[in-house]
Amino acid sequence: MDAQVAPEFPDSIEWLNLAQPLRMAQLRGKVCALAFVNAGSAWSMQRLHDLVTLLGRHRERLNVVAVHVPRFDHERDPRRALKRLRGHGFQLPLGHDPNWTLWQHYGVEAWPTVVLLDGEGRVAGRLVGDGPLRELDAQVGDLVRALVPQSLNPQPIELRRSGEPELPLRFPVGLAVSGNYLYVADTGHNRVLECDQGGRILRQFGSGGVGFIDGPMELAAFNRPRGLAVERDLLYVADTGNHAVRRIQLRSGDIDTVFGAGRPGTSGDVRVVDPRSVTMDSPTGLALAAGKLYVATAGDNRVWSFDLGDHSLRCLAGSGRLEVADGVGAEASFAQPVDVAAVQQMVYVCEAAGSAIRAVNARTGAVQTLVGRGPWEFGAEDGARSAASLQQPLALGLDPESPRLWIADSGNDRLRVLRLGGGEVSTFELPRPLHGPAGLAMAPGVAWIADTDAHAVLRLDLANGDLHHIPLGE
C-alpha cells in the first residue's frame, strides 16, 4: 500500500465547509495529512489540534484534510458533525463520510487515523491513534523535505465563510451553581463567566484568547474549558485544551493551575508538588465530595481522585482501554468518561463513547455499570436499567432533593432521569427539544442545562416543567 496512488474522493463525501467538492489534484504538490476522525472522540480532536500545529509550521508545504466518520446515528447528520467540529475552531477542509465509503477505501480501522500522502498523491504512511506529536511531526517533516518543486497550478481550496452566529455564548458546556451565582464555561470563547441567575454577567475569568496563563482574571487564559465544580470561594475548571485542572479564587478572581503540564499524558499516582510537572489527558468533568476532587479524563479513559488536603493524585479506576467493563481500580475500564457527579463516597461517571452511566466506590475503587452495555450499543429506550439505553450522554447532575441522577443525553437531544437504588430510566418531557446538551447543574427544584449546540443556557423548573432561556449577556 505504501506506493499506492491515493484514490479520488467519492461523490458521497459531503464537504461541510467548502465552496466546491475537493479533488485529489488540488492536494498535489504538497504533503497531505488526511485525517479520519470522529467529532465526539477526544483522541480524534487532539490529533486534529496536533495537525493544526504542524500546519502552522509547514503551511506552504502541507495540506490537512479532516474526514468525519460517524460512530452514532445522530452523527450521520452533517449539520451535527459540522457543529461539533466548529466548536474546536478548525479552519481546514472538513468532509463527512456518513456511509464509511472513504474509510473503507483506505482500509481504516480506528479513530483517529492519519494517512500521509506525498507530493505526488501517493500513500506514504499512516499513524493510528493519538500518539506523540513528535512522531507525527517527524514523518511529516521527512515528507516535506523530500518534496520536489512542481509548477502545478491547481484550483485553490476555497473555504466557505459561513459560521456560527455571533452570540454572547459559543458552545457553552460546564455549569455550576453556588447560592445566587451561576458559573458557565463558555467553551468556544475560552472563558468562564460568573452570572446572576437572571443572566447578567458579573465577571469574566480569562482573557478569551487561547492560552495557558495563570494570574489575574483579565490576563489569565484557558483553552476550551469544560467541566466546573464550586466549593465556597473556589471554582475548579477542567481546562480541557490545556490538559489541566485550574482554580479560580472567587474573592480575588486570580487563577492558578492545580495540576497539568499543558500536554497530554498519564501521570500515575503522585503527590502534586510542582503542578506543571503532572500530565493529564483531556480532563473534561469535575466533582467535589468529602474533601476530594474527582476528575474524568476522556483522553485516557480514567477517573482520578485528588485529595484537597495533602495534594495527592491517584487513579481511582480505569485501565485505559476503551470498553465498558466492571471491576476494581485498574481492572475496570471506561469508554471516554466525560463527566462525574459525586456524593459522599460514591462517584457517578458519564461515558460518551460507551453510552453508559457507571458508579465507582471511592473507598474501594469498585466500578459497577448502571446503564449501558458497550461502545457499539446505544439507543433511546426507557425502562429498567438493564434494558434502557442512551446515545452519547455528555453530562450528569445529582438531584439535591431526591435519589435521582439527571443525564444530558446529548445524542438523543433529551433529558433523562435515572432513579438510584435500582430504579428505572425515564425521559423528562420538555416543552421543546434540546440541541446537543453537554452540561448540567442541579439546585433545589431547578436544573440548569447547557444547550450547547444552540449556544444557550436554559433553566428548567422541575416541579412544573417550565423551560426558560437565560439571556446571558444579551
Same fold yes or no, 14-145 and 175-470: no
Residues 123, 306: Cα–Cα separation, whole Å: 45
Q: Quick one: pLDDT at residue 1? A: 42
Classify residue 274 as exposed, middle or buried by CB count within 10 Å of its CB (0-12, 13-18, 19+): exposed
Q: How far is CA 190 from CA 35, 146, 308, 337, 451, in A?
A: 25, 38, 26, 22, 17
Among the residue ranges 1-10, 98-107, 334-343, 431-440, the one predicted with the least confidence is 1-10
The domain ranges of the chain are: 14-145, 175-470
Dihedral (CA of 160, 164, 167, 168) sign: negative
Q: Quick one: pLDDT at residue 153? A: 59
Q: Dihedral angle at the C-alpha atoms of 318, 323, 324, 325, nearest 10 degrees?
A: -60
Residue in the block written with cell 485542572? 245
**Closest listed residue to residue 333, CA positions, set 299, 302, 359, 372:** 302
Q: Quick one: pLDDT at residue 452? A: 98
Q: Quick one: pLDDT at residue 132? A: 87
Q: Quick one: pLDDT at residue 163? A: 78
Pick the CATH number of 14-145 from 3.40.50.360, 3.40.920.10, 3.40.30.10, 3.40.50.1820: 3.40.30.10
Q: What is the pLDDT of residues 27-62, one digit of tens each?
A: 999 999 999 999 999 999 999 999 999 999 998 899
Element (H, E) at 387: none
Q: What is the mean pLDDT of residues 72-76?
A: 96
Q: What is the pLDDT of residues 361-399, one digit of tens each?
A: 999 999 999 999 999 999 999 999 999 999 999 999 999
185 and 439 Cβ atoms separated by less than 8 Å = yes
Is residue 133 helix, strand or coil?
A: helix
**Closest listed residue to residue 354, CA positions, set 366, 371, 341:** 371
User: Can you name the residues that pair with 447 across neighbouring β-strands?
Assistant: 442, 460
Residue 430 has pLDDT above 70, yes or no: yes
Q: What is the pLDDT of residues 260-319, one digit of tens each?
A: 999 999 998 999 999 999 999 999 999 999 999 999 999 999 999 999 999 999 999 999
How many C-beta atoms surround the C-beta of residue 33 within 10 A?
Answer: 27
222 and 242 Cβ atoms separated by less than 8 Å = yes
The amino acid occupying position 420 is: L
Q: Dihedral angle at the C-alpha atoms of 270, 271, 276, 281, nearest 10 degrees?
A: 40
Is residue 276 helix, strand or coil?
A: helix
Residue in the block written with cell 466549593? 231
How many C-beta atoms surround the C-beta of residue 257 within 10 A?
Answer: 22
Q: What is the mean pLDDT of residues 75-84?
A: 94
Q: What is the mean pLDDT of residues 185-199?
A: 97
Q: Quick one: pLDDT at residue 165? A: 87
Q: Give the three cell numbers for residue 216.
A: 489575574
Q: How far is CA 121 from CA 8, 108, 118, 460, in A?
A: 10, 18, 5, 53
Q: Quick one: pLDDT at residue 449? A: 98
Q: What is the pLDDT of residues 193-234, one digit of tens each?
A: 999 999 999 999 999 999 999 999 999 999 999 999 999 999
Q: Give the three cell numbers for residue 425.
A: 430510566
Question: pTM for the whole thing?
Answer: 0.95
Q: Give the three cell numbers for residue 251.
A: 474573592
Is the domain 175-470 a CATH 2.120.10.30 member?
Answer: yes
Residue in the block written with cell 447532575? 397
How many C-beta atoms surround the C-beta of residue 109 within 10 A?
Answer: 9
